Structure 1
């Protein structure tokens, strides 16, 4: 478990740079804007991590390690949201739902001579309308995110050209936030209502199919099997999403280094650059030997010593046994391993934290 090295607790009134490893102009408006964006992150993976924290023994996974995993779940959830509204995924989603609408219309046209006892034709029409509403909501959200990205780039360029216009940038951020909130509230409500209605509509369709029984398969085979296919696809997607969420939650808690390595390989750099990371203090860890413990040369009875590398007057930090482990990979520090100390005072394996900082220029433990 990594612990800070006697750092004073910052006051709640202080302004804390949430990306201290990135080169920036230090504008307070930029900080406020970034904090506002993070406040709307979805909570599912983070809640899964908290649930596993409550179910797990503290001996297996202590509090700081769980805090790191909550931060990683937050970061993964944000990236998952960005990937879900990337252009290829949006196009696939639209084509998929359009195919459902096309199949529904074709079957309705070909089954004009079928007269089922239950209103299956009405259920299919309702299902197609849900697909169309979903397509509209996806398009609105995709355009909003694209507009926000373009506006952010233009704001950054204007700020670089006129660094003294802090007030104007602040007003522009407020206007943009209000515009996004007003423009997407209706789409969000529509998407939520459509999701709730789709759940109720699935129950109604299942009831009508069950009430008709095998008679529907003989009297109206096309409508019957189309309803069965639509109901089956919905069940498959629900089971797939639940299983995927469970796998990701378990992977974040138990295999966090693997998740970070995958993100490091496939994601674009949005955190600190290699030069910024290399400027951070690097230490070598040396465990306390039996001779040192018996002679009483150190102030601790166990643990080890962190010695700064690459300086003429290296600093040394004594670590207790419970602090001599990496919160990311949950492995104890071995002799001679290289550690990275962040400006906040927390320390991790270089191999673990360097990849994290490449993705997010904040401490995975305290988010500073």
Structure 2
């Protein structure tokens, strides 16, 4: 079944290894014996790695990176909202620009006696001016977005004029942003030529300016390589980790799992192997349809044994309690009929 893509048998049920599961099955069931034959090829991942992968896939920064990757590489017809216009990203961008402006200004103030060979001071001043212009542009973007979001519905005769003004402002801000990015790209190349020219030893004559230039160039190199690093993370590292751990991180980041309160409210009981009846524990309701079903869990493909805890979903499907609880923590739907839990 497709449900085995998310969990290996050992990561869901603590009832021995996969070989013990297949030993109780008839020899005529080729699908289960074949699946058990390939299981010992690799060691099953621990529950700690699965829980860590679950936390990473549900983290806000991971969801933000997926939004950025989809916005940059998705189809033009389904872009969604721009993730770089969020308040959290603008705050991070504002903090980075303020730190750069403060650092460059302070370094220029304490290094007046230094005399570099190449005009490092001119490069730092130009970079500082570019950061100040970026701050002004960031303030314009923030004010424009929050004014457009905060305004209510206007009159119909004024709506067209307002939309045309907003389009002109947005077009102007995009041109200013493109110009600043082009300036920083050219300035980055010039800084590399001026700083790392091996014919002149400028570090001894201006150590503070030299260290500042190297730090700014390294920061810009990381920023320019961000799309490539994002591609490596989401297209190379995440699929490899998902295949090793047995948990689809991409699926887990888009489909939120059920909460602990939702899972605890579902009915549960202990299975009786001899009488094929349900021994009620703390719950008062019983499932009368379990006798007509195949007495095995479709998640771990193991038959029910005596005194094992079972849990029933709202769609009347029954599974091992540990199996379905770990499943619902990833995706809040039934593994068989895909019916969602009510939130």
Q: Give the TM-score normalised by structure 1.
A: 0.45
Q: TM-score, normalised by structure 2?
A: 0.48
Which is higher, the Rg of structure 1 or of structure 2?
2
